[in-house]
Amino acid sequence: MSETLVGQTHFQSREDVIALIPRPLGRILDVGCGPGLTGASLRNAGAVEVWGIERDPALVDEAATRLTNVVSVDLEGDPIAGLPIGHFDVIVYADVLEHLVDPWTVLSRQRSLLRPGGLMVASIPNVRHIRVTLPLLLRGRWDYTDEGLLSRGHVRFFTTRSMRQMITGAGYRINREGAGIAPKAQLVSRLSLGRLDDLLVRDRLFVATST
């Protein structure tokens, strides 16, 4: 897995997200692409085009060396400015939506960038994870960190239910769900027949079709 460190933020190619995208790979838009590592992996896997959206100028320059095109878009202002309508087969949101003030509007408006029947693939952190809920319930602690579930960069927090509501409310039909779960937690999941999964899953993965 390729990795880089830009400033104080850790980036890596999201192989779990890439695995969800149907083959053959077509035209892909990676929202919040960072330095373009995920997009580079998609291009290596045969994607026809990989565009990126990124607001950090240094990351835009780095991503431009790896992707087909990189644009700086104000997602909170006009999330489709300068982007081709109906052009993409897949839009990727890999741990991006929780950083936005209004992810509901961004999802809804950017759907116009997809071809008819195009896909949205997303990874969203689960705030109901036991590492968040247990300290909150037992000690009243909600401690922000540099990265992770309670990253200082997170503006919105989602449970599995509110993730589904956001995606379907934006005009998508959810086709498939996955989960990021640590190896040790997988045993607990099996023993509990999945009943404790919402406390064990770090992030939820979604594939959804534009309706």
Q: 190 in a domain, yes or no? A: no
Residue 89 is assigned to a structural domain of this protein? yes
- Secondary structure letter of residue 146 according to DSSP: S
Q: Quick check: 188 and 196 in contact, CB under 8 A? A: yes
Does residue 23 belong to any structural domain of this protein?
yes
CATH number for the domain that contains residue 59: 3.40.50.150
Which residue reads 């919105």 in tokens?
156
Q: What is the mean pLDDT of the chain?
A: 90
Residue 194 lies in a domain: no
- Tell me if 104 is assigned to some domain: yes
Q: Is the pLDDT of residue 5 over 70?
A: no
Residue 164: give the domain boundaries. Answer: 3-126+144-180+200-210
What pLDDT is stored for residue 74 in this prediction?
A: 87
What pLDDT, on the 0 to 100 scale, is given for residue 179?
A: 86
Q: Report whether 174 contacts 167 (CB < 8 A).
A: yes
Q: Tell me the two tokens of residue 23.
A: 């083959």
Give yes or no for residue 77 having a pLDDT over 60.
yes
Question: What pTM does this model have?
Answer: 0.90
Q: What is the pLDDT of residues 105-157, one digit of tens each?
A: 999 999 999 999 999 999 999 999 889 999 998 999 999 988 889 899 999 99
CA 50/CA 48 separation, integer angstroms:
7
Q: Please state the domain count of the chain.
A: 1
Determine, yes or no, domain membership for 136. Answer: no
Q: Report helix, strand and coil shares of the chain as percent, to nearest 5.
A: 30, 30, 40
Q: Do the beta carbons of residue 118 and residue 173 sit within 8 Å? A: no
